Amino acid sequence: MRRRWTATVAITLAGLLGLSACGGGGSPAEPAASGDGGGGKQQVEVFSWWTGPGEADGLKAMREIFEQQNPNLTFFDAAVAGGSGDKAKALLASKLQADTPPDTFQGHAGAELQGYIKAGDLEELNFLYDELKLADAFPAQLVEQISVDGKIYSVPVNIHRSNVLWFNPSVLKEAGVTGAPKTIEEFVAALEKVKATGKIPLSIGSEWTVTHLLESVLLGSLGTDAYNALFKPGADWNSPQVAKALENFKTIMSYAGSPQDDWQPAAKQVADGEAAFNIMGDWAYGYFHNPPDGGLGKKSKTDFDWAPAPGTEGTYLWLSDSFTLPKGAKNRDGAVAWLKVAASKEGQDAFNPKKGSIPARKDADQSLYTDYLADALKDWSGNKLAGSIQHGVAVNQPWLAAINEAVGLFIGTQDVAELQKGLAAAATANAQ
């Protein structure tokens, strides 16, 4: 197992080092140089990584609204497939370096955008927030967490939740576990009971899923305020509280099964009754629930169920896909028109039910969001917020690379002191 994880670390680091140096694969066709989409219409290049089932359907739904509202504009889909956006980000880096930005591009709201902001690649969008009264439409905590020195550089179109505990009710019943564990201590006790049955207590995927697990354990161990404080200048990653949280992480990881190639096969182990638990973002819901041509076709509350990750009830560990306004965009007015659709109630309600996420706006049509999404919408409107580490909210890309390196080393050594040392060094080097 250690050899496999070490190879994964090397691949991850190589990919990060090469991110700004190469264009990656899966490049889209180039838009017309003149920006003329035919028939006198001006073309708007929208750059994203939404090419898969659900997300492409949601993008199409927003596109239809955009073109209906803007008959003088035509949408150019510059989506790049693959790698959770990795290939798209690599190509985007080359376009920005060449001063040929798309008119608007997708990015995770939060610290992931800091590199673009520092490089002077993005216009601030406070004018749009004022015009559309978005500070009232979005939760105040969300606006606060995406602001940089009082300026906002992206429009969130959706919200995903990171801290979801997925579980198989039949496996828990067989192990004598009466329900989803609410605390870290209850979680460890449940893992032990499942282990005694011979089933996999906790399924995991590739290395990034372990960092994903770590953020939920940190939140569940420290609480919301202390977790959020870790990402502020001067935070103490060497504290006894963080050490205890990392010991919890080590204990929980001791119940993990063999690492799968990615999150989907790890989630499938839960759906198939091979494993009891998996901590993964709520995009897993679509994978569990959707018909077999794009998912597993499983029945919620029977084949799979969900709860907040242990210790995190009342807190929404969030991430968000958003769109930006690059400086030097060929069709700035068209990009602003797209951002208005992405920010709107109509646009978000058209996109999110198909994507399997919930709107960032507080005024969503709740009748469109059922089953897991109904629970998520309710929690989003009332929970405290904490930003995801792995998915670009709490830390910038160099900081995340350093965290992933520390986690990768820990997987091989199981040395909590060295993990804490690595996390503290990552914070010192990268916290702003």
pLDDT digits (tens, 9 = 90+) for 318-346: 999 999 999 999 999 999 999 999 999 99
Q: Residue 235 pLDDT more than 70?
A: yes
Amino acid at 42: Q
Q: Residue 18 pLDDT more than 80?
A: no
Count Cβ atoms below 10 Å from residue 247 Cβ, excluding itself. Answer: 14
pLDDT digits (tens, 9 = 90+) for 349-373: 999 988 889 999 999 999 999 999 9
For 347, the token pair is 């646009």
Q: Residue 113 pLDDT more than 80?
A: yes
Walk me through the domains of the chain, giving residue ranges and CATH numbers: 21-158+322-382 (3.40.190.10), 161-317+393-430 (3.40.190.10)
pLDDT more than 90, % of the chain: 75
User: pLDDT value at position 16?
Assistant: 35
Structure pTM? 0.84
pLDDT digits (tens, 9 = 90+) for 42-93: 999 999 988 876 788 889 999 999 999 999 999 999 999 854 577 888 899 9
Given pLDDT bands bounded at 50, 70 and 90, which one contains residue 275? Answer: very high
Mean pLDDT of 161-166: 98
Q: 146 versus 176: which is more confidently predicted?
A: 176
Given pLDDT bands bounded at 50, 70 and 90, which one contains residue 4? Answer: very low
Phi-psi label, residue 311: left if phi above 0, alpha if psi -120 to 50, beta otherwise: left
Across 27-31, 164-168, 286-290, the highest mean pLDDT is recorded for 164-168
